[in-house]
């Protein structure tokens, strides 16, 4: 992420701004960053208070951490079931997205064929179409085909609606790799498929990782399709389960907060472990997109 | 690429087909199905009555729908200021040598983008809460007790209040997007500008903004598309209320179909939403490009 650091060192003239301006700018940025994270910290420590303690003073720290709130939240939301459902749907969707977008992205980067431009435009259309307008027709379609309320129901829209960006990302990444590698492989007698999987796939691992992580967030957090396509309580995903929990137990705030923390734990852990890779990926996607 | 590497046509097709099939089934087929159903009066049962363009006529006179459309437009306007505008300012600041702890700012400000919209909505519900909300607690601490109120019951500024969580969540993404755009600007241009005495705000206004225009255009289009399709935040934060004051198009289509069982009308609404959104994106693309060629700042 040295992108903008170069800019500063390359400057030939140096102007020293008065330090009040510097202080003000830094204070502003710190305030901005704090506003992104403090509400979440508030949720975090408030989830450890008793209900009375929270009602008494919403800002104070918990006097004795109430981990029981978490046990209650797990029990009331059926969090283990929700997490298992979310994990299954998310994992399979991410595998599907990554596999399909690798093959499609690789082919669009390397092969010219009739209708390629149309296909690229078709996939781009998916990024602009207001997908939530399709909730009604999609529900009717899934019901007609008997695809609603199955354990695999959500995998279908999750793959479809998350293909556009990964295809673009992977395609532009592959375009940046020298073709000589594949030509050498072809001279050695490797087939197209062999080259795609055995030679290029390992080289594309960084972009595939970024795609997989970003789509993990997208699928784990998805709510609308889960809301419309699932009736069966035992199939609910984490965001869906949380919304029912919220409407049924909205008076016990510390417990609700404990549930919220639990529901965002997986993405939080993955984000802070891979944050530099994720940010680099988003910025790369921004430049190329 | 040489002929030797070119796969046979059927191999190519076999590789591309799974993606195209699943994508078409979920994106294209529903649009056609909705178009067909939009000419019927249908409550979901076996009885479907063909009523020609009656649904579309009804849409034209449906106040709640047009109010929802205006809310979408209003949210887009707030989004352009709150997400693209502030994102751009923060990106400019993060580019300058004045700001310390850049890594921390980048990491923390993008974090909310990775959270579920439903959870973001719950968080802001708690912030806006009358008795136990951060906002009212903060106002009390500052001695501004007069401003303490039940925020989400205000019909007037409700769209603004509902747009703030959206901006809060997405500003980090737009900051990164702008940072990426800004860092691809030719550094020599900036150096020459500095030698000519352009610094600080003057440099930002006369040099950086014109050069960053392509990035700003892309960001604006993304922001428009995002806000026109907004559903989850509003559903979870206000449910469209109080009354219909914060309703958006997708939410209205959802309620019409799933709560009032008017699938035919809901399908017509879906078509209307797609048409309006595409029209708006097309118009803004044209407008932004025209200003691009007229500006001539390059």
* pLDDT per position as a tens digit, B259-293: 999 999 999 999 999 999 999 989 988 888 765 55
Which H/E stretch holds residue B269? helix B263-295
Contacts of B225 in chain A (CB under 8 A): 127-128, 130
Secondary structure (DSSP) of A120-141? HHHHHHHHHS-GGGGHHHHHHH
Q: Give the rounded distance of the alpha carbon of A267 from its chain centre.
A: 8
- A–B interface: beta-carbon pairs under 8 A: 307
Residue A12 to residue B254: CA distance in whole angstroms: 58
Give which of B150, B171, B151, B148 is closest to B78, Cα–Cα: B171
pLDDT profile of chain A (289 residues), mean per 10: 48 56 88 92 94 89 91 92 96 98 95 92 88 90 93 96 93 91 88 91 93 95 95 94 84 91 95 91 73
Contacts of B218 in chain A (CB under 8 A): 286, 289
| Residue B238 DSSP SS3 | coil
Interface test with B, best of A92, A134, A196, A224 (most B CBs within 10 A): A134
Interface test with A, best of B3, B116, B168, B238 (most A CBs within 10 A): B116
| Residue A229 DSSP SS3 | helix
Q: Taking CA atoms, what residue in A is nearest to B187?
A: A7
B33-44 per-position pLDDT tens digit: 999 999 999 987
Alpha helices in chain A (DSSP H): 5-9, 19-46, 51-56, 68-77, 79-110, 116-128, 135-144, 155-161, 164-175, 180-187, 192-194, 201-203, 205-221, 224-229, 238-248, 253-288
Q: How close, in Å, is residue B296 to chain A by CA atoms?
A: 22
Cβ pair A13:B194 closer than 8 A: yes
Residue A42 to residue B116: CA distance in whole angstroms: 18
- Token digits of residue A90: 């998310």
Cβ pair A10:B187 closer than 8 A: yes
Contact A228, A138 (CB under 8 A): yes
Q: Which residues, in sequence order, are bridge partners of residue B48?
A: B42
- Token digits of residue A192: 């197209």
A133-150 per-position pLDDT tens digit: 899 899 999 999 999 999
Model confidence at B295, pLDDT cuts 50, 70, 90, reads very low
Cβ pair B177:A104 closer than 8 A: no
């Amino acid at each position: 992420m040295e992108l903008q650091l170069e800019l500063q060192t390359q400057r030939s003239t140096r102007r020293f701004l008065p330090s009040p301006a510097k202080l003000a700018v830094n204070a502003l940025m710190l305030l901005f960053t704090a506003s992104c994270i403090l509400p979440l910290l508030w949720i975090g420590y408030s989830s450890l208070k008793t209900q009375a303690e929270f009602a008494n003073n919403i800002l104070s720290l918990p006097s004795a951490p109430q981990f029981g709130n978490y046990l209650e939240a797990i029990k009331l939301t059926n969090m283990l079931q929700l997490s298992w459902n979310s994990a299954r749907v998310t994992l399979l969707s991410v595998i599907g997205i990554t596999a399909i977008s690798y093959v499609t992205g690789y082919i669009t980067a390397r092969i010219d064929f009739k209708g390629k431009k149309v296909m690229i435009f078709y996939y781009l259309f998916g990024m602009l179409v207001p997908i939530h307008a399709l909730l009604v027709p999609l529900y009717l379609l899934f019901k007609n085909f008997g695809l609603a309320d199955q354990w695999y129901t959500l995998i279908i829209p999750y793959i479809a609606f998350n293909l556009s960006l990964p295809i673009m990302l992977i395609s532009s990444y592959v375009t940046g790799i020298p073709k000589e590698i594949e030509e050498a492989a072809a001279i050695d007698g490797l087939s197209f498929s062999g080259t795609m999987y055995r030679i290029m796939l390992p080289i594309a691992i960084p972009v595939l990782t970024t795609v997989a992580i970003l789509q993990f967030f997208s699928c784990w957090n998805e709510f609308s399709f889960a809301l419309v396509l699932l009736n069966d309580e035992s199939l609910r995903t984490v965001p869906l389960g949380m919304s029912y929990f919220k409407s049924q137990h909205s008076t016990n705030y510390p417990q609700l907060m404990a549930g919220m923390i639990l529901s965002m734990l997986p993405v939080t852990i993955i984000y802070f472990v891979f944050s530099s890779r994720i940010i680099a990926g988003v910025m790369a996607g921004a430049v190329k997109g | 690429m040489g002929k030797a590497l070119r796969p046979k046509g059927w191999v190519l097709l076999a590789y591309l087909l799974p993606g195209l099939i699943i994508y078409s089934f979920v994106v294209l087929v529903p649009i056609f199905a909705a178009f067909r159903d939009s000419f019927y009066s249908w409550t979901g049962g076996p009885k479907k009555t063909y009523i020609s363009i009656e649904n579309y006529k009804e849409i034209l006179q449906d106040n709640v729908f047009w109010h929802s459309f205006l809310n979408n437009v209003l949210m887009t306007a707030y989004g352009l200021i709150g997400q693209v505008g502030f994102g751009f300012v923060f990106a400019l600041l993060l580019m300058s040598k004045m700001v310390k702890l850049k890594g921390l700012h980048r990491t923390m400000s993008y974090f909310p983008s990775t959270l579920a919209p439903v959870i973001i909505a719950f968080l802001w519900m708690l912030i806006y809460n009358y008795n136990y909300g951060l906002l009212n607690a903060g106002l009390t601490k500052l001695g501004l007790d007069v401003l303490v109120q039940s925020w989400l019951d205000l019909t007037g500024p409700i769209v603004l209040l509902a747009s703030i969580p959206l901006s809060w969540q997405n500003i980090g993404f737009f900051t990164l997007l702008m940072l990426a755009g800004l860092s691809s600007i030719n550094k020599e241009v900036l150096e020459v500008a500095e030698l000519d005495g352009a610094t600080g705000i003057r440099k930002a206004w006369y040099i950086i903004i014109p050069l960053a225009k392509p990035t700003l255009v892309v960001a604006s289009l993304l922001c428009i598309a995002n806000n026109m399709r907004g559903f989850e935040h509003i559903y979870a934060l206000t449910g469209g209320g109080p009354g219909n004051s914060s309703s958006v198009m997708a939410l209205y289509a959802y309620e019409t179909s799933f709560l009032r069982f008017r699938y035919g009308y809901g399908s017509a609404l879906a078509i209307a939403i797609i048409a309006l959104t595409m029209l708006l994106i097309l118009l803004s693309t044209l407008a932004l490009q025209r200003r691009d060629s007229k500006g001539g700042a390059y």
